[in-house]
Amino acid sequence: MTTPTTTVVVPLKPPAAGKSRLASAVGALRPQLALAFALDTVAAARRCPAVTRVVAVCDDEQAAAQLALAGAVVVPDAPAAGLNAALEHGVRYARAVLGAGAVAAMSADLPALRPAELARVLGAASAHPRAFLADTQGVGTTLLSAAAGVPLLPVFGGQSRAAHAASGAVELRLDDVASVRRDVDTGADLQVALALGAGRHTLTTLGLMQATAYTYSPDSRSGQVLLDDGTPLPFDSAAFDAGGLRLLRPGQRVRIETEGAGTDRRITLITLQTF
Ligand SMILES: Nc1nc2c(ncn2[C@@H]2O[C@H](COP(=O)(O)OP(=O)(O)OP(=O)(O)O)[C@@H](O)[C@H]2O)c(=O)[nH]1
Ligand SMILES: C=C(OP(=O)(O)O)C(=O)O
């Protein structure tokens, strides 16, 4: 039974200014995706049995409100002096005001984050005063931990894997924690995160929804797609035929285009997404 002992601190730049490397791949969706990644990251961290609380350091009012709804304790980025200063500020607040002990600074752009994988990382980290997890490329860092009473000493940015190792933090060598290493900076990173299984905020922002089941009545040439949040969306044969729904398997991700709202919302196109 995992005991929740770690306070996770996630930093979020105002989404309007965030994820600039993603712009060429997603265009105008960039700010919404920057926020969606953070909301999926916070939601997964909150479901992690090793995490006592999540503190988000963010200066953007609208983003802060949504991060709070996702269950984070949000503090303004008072230093406004970059990522590492924001993380130090979040840890100071967590320890001085919330009585936090062990902390872990984690990037807020891990949309595929799995609570069980985060628990494995934090479990391994708890054996060291300071520890870190390298990102997928093996160049940066997605998580840096510090035991109770130990300074975090973050040196995120650029070649931070080497910098954190040089600072004395122990690198966590874990093979089965891909979702904790997969930060999303570019379109290629996003495709990998989607293939790992991104969270609902990211999928919805991209117009992708995970259909868990569907029914189709050939005689009435209509049916329903059941989304993973339990929403049943009716569709007619036009959407079925146009999007190849007949190939849909439960759990298959589809791009669903709809029109109308509430009970009038109808699917107009269903396209299978292959990742
Ligand atoms: N609060 C706060 N968060 C930051 C700051 N700089 C980066 N971050 C966050 O730290 C995490 C990792 O940073 P990046 O991957 O460089 O994110 P980014 O700056 O939005 O991406 P690029 O614009 O492509 O560099 C993301 O969650 C950012 O939102 C900062 O100055 N303050
Ligand atoms: C800030 C970091 O990541 P990124 O490359 O996404 O900026 C980092 O890896 O330290």
Is the ipTM higher than 0.90? The answer is yes
157 marked as binding residue: yes
Q: Sorting pLDDT into bands at 50, 70 and 90, what band is 249? A: low
CA of residue 5 to ligand 1 center, whole Å: 26
Question: For 160, left (φ over 0), alpha (ψ -120 to 50), or beta?
Answer: alpha
Ligand 2, atom 6, lies closest to the CA of 185
pLDDT digits (tens, 9 = 90+) for 154-165: 999 999 999 999
For 127-137, how does the pLDDT look when each residue is reduced to its tens digit (9 = 90+)? 999 999 999 99
Model confidence at 195: pLDDT above 70: yes
- Model confidence at 274, in pLDDT bands (50, 70, 90)? very low
What length does the chain have?
275
Report which secondary-structure segment, H or E, holds 56. strand 51-58
Contact status, residue 101 vs residue 68, Cβ threshold 8 Å: no
Closest ligand to Cα 20: 1
Instruction: Collapse the DSSP code of 190 into the 3-class scheme (helix H, G, I; strand E, B; otherwise coil) and give the result.
Output: helix
The ligand 1 atom nearest the CA atom of 18: 20
Q: Which residues contact 223 (CB under 8 A, 6 or more apart)?
A: 214, 215, 216, 217, 234, 235, 240, 245
The answer to whether 141 is annotated as binding is yes
Burial of 64 (0-12, 13-18, 19+ CB in 10 A): buried
Tokens 């035929």 sit on residue: 241
Return the closest-CA partner of residue 195 out of 253, 148, 262. Answer: 253
What domains lie within the chain, and their CATH numbers? 6-185 (3.90.550.10), 207-272 (2.40.50.140)
Nearest to 13 by CA among 52, 70, 56, 46: 56
- For residue 91, name the pLDDT band (cuts at 50, 70, 90): very high
Between these two residues, 81 and 265, which has the higher pLDDT value? Answer: 81
Q: Tell me the pLDDT tens digit for each residue of 10-29.
A: 999 999 999 999 999 999 99
Pairing of strands 266-272, 253-259: antiparallel
